[in-house]
Structure 1
């Protein structure tokens, strides 16, 4: 029996943003794996998946998603997850792994596929693309990601605020992922590069607790409390307002 592992992007949280192909892959799979933290609470991927498949075919697999400093602990979690998925592949023909966003953009699926591929001979790995948080935020806020010849830079702020500042000093649109814990540094980088105006950030997109704000409100929001870790920022490229000016 051929073993297939399919990474399915289920979008940022709104179940209506799962593609038709993604829904079909989830429903046709023998098992749907969803990543959870070691606290075992239901994650965003699982909440989305349950709109389309019965809970009986959903299997939670622990990843150290909240681990940022202890590499050994993180890799041990990856190894354990790979072992669990390899076990499932041994008993079932097709296993789908549901990941928020897209499986090829900063996804835990990358690590899982590498590990499972080393454990399961002739494993076939496929991916189904998903809507990303930057696309959803652009749609919900009205921010235009790119025009004409403008570049687009995607930065995980977990790499450091300096990386973001370097990108903001360039000519194109900059998208920042996972910046909640460094929101103060992000606000400073925007201000120092003159990119605050027109920039927007959002979290929990498509969910009841959705929040979308102008970047000028970042510092005042921090006075209320910390931002969610999975916050997304769009700082559009400077534009003169003319139609087709960047062609």
Structure 2
């Protein structure tokens, strides 16, 4: 029996943003794996999937998603998660893995797929694209991501504020992911580069606790959710079509 692992992007949180192809992939799989924290709390991926498949079809697998400092613990958690999913593939053949956003953009699925390829010979790896947080934030806030010849830069702030500052100093729109724990540093970088005026940030997009606010309010120093997203639009002059 051939094994197939499909990474399905389920969007940033709003269940209506899962694509038709994504829903079909979830329903076609024999089991759907969702990542959960070691605390056991339900994550966004699981909450979204439950709108489309019955709970008995879902398998919760613990990933060290909140482990940022202990590499050995993180690696051990990855190995254990990989073994669990490999066992499911051997037993069922067709397994879907639900991931928030897109499976090829800063996704847990990337690391899982690398592990599975080594442990399950002949496994077929596929992905179904999903709507990303930056796309949803752009739609909800009215921020245009890019136009004409403008570049678009996506930065994980977990890489350090210096990386963000370099991006903000350049042309085009800059999107920052995972900056909630470094909101003060992000506000400083925006201010130093003159980009804070038009920037917007959002968290829990599409959920009851959704928050979308001007980036200028980051200077308040309040704690933000880890999975916060920021858009700093390009400096645009010349009106419609000015950069074509």
Q: TM-score range by the shorter chain?
A: over 0.9
Which deviations, in whole Å up to 9, do the C-alpha atoms of 1:186-213 show, x marking residues without a partner?
0000000000011000000000000000
* Residue 158 (structure 1) aligns with: 158
Which digits, 9 at most, give the CA deviation of each residue in 1:80-129, with x for residues without a partner? 01000000001102000000000000001011011111111100000000
What's the secondary structure of 1:176's corresponding residue? strand
1:243 to 237, 240, 244: 240
SS at match of 1:25: helix
Match of 2:70 in 1: 70
Q: 5 Å matches for 1:135-214? A: 135-214=135-214
* Superposed counterparts of 1:3-14, under 5 Å: 3-14=3-14
Uncovered stretches (5+) of structure 1, i.e. residues with no partner: none
* Residue aligning to 1:226: 223
Question: What's the offset of the Cα at 1:45?
Answer: 0.2
TM-score of the superposed pair, with normalisation by structure 1: 0.98
> Which runs of structure 2 are paired with 1:69-88 in the superposition (5 Å)?
69-88=69-88
Aligned residues: 244
Could you tell me which residue of structure 2 aligns to residue 128 of structure 1? Answer: 128
Q: Deviations over 1:137-196 (max 9, x none)?
A: 000000000010000000000000110000000011000000000000000000000000
State the alpha-carbon separation in 2 of the partners of residues 81 and 246 from structure 1.
Answer: 47
- Give the superposition deviation at 1:73: 0.8
Q: Give me the whole-angstrom Cα distance separating, in 1, the residues matched to 2:94 and 2:117.
A: 14
Runs of 4+ in structure 1 off by over 2 angstroms are none
* Structure 2: runs of 5 or more not aligned: none
